[in-house]
Structure 1
């Protein structure tokens, strides 16, 4: 088989297939069956047909889970080997998108898909993109499979640089650190534009392994930033459980010791002293609070709000924090505390000249008062007309 399929085979061996349910399509069994068919018949069309059928049936039956990323990876490679790199690129990107929807995306499979993507781009003559895709991936593959694998992939990227034309011809491989920063910036831009799928893809590709030559703090900051982008994107999509998972991973890079997610942790010194780290810490914990509320984990939300409160530096952040505190009180049924907090957020917004949020807070004050059931939003408490002056119910 071709070189790339050795990575797929290694990934397949490292993955643990779950117990297949009766009558469900098992992607790992399909992958093994396809590999056996290739060994016997040396036929790419036969193997591609098996992959195509498996994906089509899984999609039709609503069973297309992130585990099928292995099918996409092998399908992409066999398609490229058979002379269709454009379709191979499409398959690799679809596989990445599917994989990133997992609670815990498999790193080996992600990197195998990225290798497939890089080769497809190179076959299309898009050498600069191929090199950029391969550069960080080679680091991850080296960490997982050894220095020889890293060198092999980097040598391949250098050969693409020699094949490039124009301004890109013969250029050295880009710095992994600079490339990661560029990808994270693109992820931020995609998120701001509402393109969550692209934001997730860029953020995933911008993650760095530990052996990049960068300081450990810089790697942790980069990866926390990427996880924060991913968590925010998942929240925008309404996938709040995934959002909590990604944001917890980001939070774990900001604390000084393992965090239980339920109490206020000790943060690493940089999170307290460095301006960039402080902004990131606010972003991670304020977003984690919102996602935790959405999943019903009020204790985790309260802990995240408690942490974020130390980092709310602007009027907008203070308003957001007060709104989260009020929302948490509301979700727990403490309508009086919710009302008091919304009144604080109204005053804070008014003081900063934010008329829109001040009006929004007044609206939620009214809802909290009505939810209490013992008053009206615009006047004194309204007595139940059935009650006498002594508070008893008239018959």
Structure 2
């Protein structure tokens, strides 16, 4: 019962604060963001100390190196978090935007105006930077936020939320606009997903298991963020040096994130030329390669891939490699195993690039670029709340506009309906 009361109390506080938060003018919201950013820098030692406890516990539990990387903060990452808040200040505030205005024959003037969603609940795993990104984005879009992070980052999250919530309140935001559910028991998630009285929308950020659980069990409306089983297809008309750089970056630059490449598809016409140096470079970087039979015929020391490998988001230095007949087989493979997140083709052929763009169903489709760019900051949106792989309301990197909805305003001069 105590667990439920903590959850209900914090959600209720956010709901109450949302009335004032939605009416906060842009300049005041920007003051709040600036104060939050400065407080992160001023309290960096406390943040890193708390994060050190989380990282040490993760190492004792022998969590994967990729997960520990996602969990770890350093001075640069804290500075990046603060800079992300400052970047939001320069972005246009979507609240109050008029999407359209028209006049009816009876004299009524009808307009559609952007308004905050209200209270946004976020369930996420071991990335404490999400705490700051989510809070900043929600505040800029006029929302309150209730955060439920994973147990791996609980010490970091408690300190971060204490710092930014105090800063937000001191700068003029309503008290309760940023809340953290500190209890990490699984039952809390089950109760949180059913807080329809207080939450307007729920956003899960994490692995496939978390997202599936939320989508299948929540009664609060859900925006589904993406599991990223992302592919890169190297065409027979690709610049192979370019393809090597793109594929390496997509897998190795940061393997523990959702826009990292998990499967490399290679056209059979260039596989014998492309794969040996590519595989060797991956192996030097510590990547385990799991290949199809055609891949293993070219690179015999590669581990044999299973059916499960084609459907797996590794979030680690593991890569599935498949040799395909042509672009049609590549697209068919992506259709069967992809998660509609980010897909890329490397080719110098305009017609093939166009075909890939038209036929691949994903939130982001690339030609001659790494899938690692599927990110709100890289797209120019500022920090992001997540990558949506669904098609209703929001798709792709979710920035400020995706954290708003709209209402109709109707101006009359005494009209009545007859």
Task: State if a TM-score over 0.5 links the two structures.
Answer: no
- TM-score in terms of structure 1 length: 0.27
Q: Higher strand fraction: Structure 1 or Structure 2?
A: 2
Pick the structure with greater CA Rg.
1
- TM-score in terms of structure 2 length: 0.26
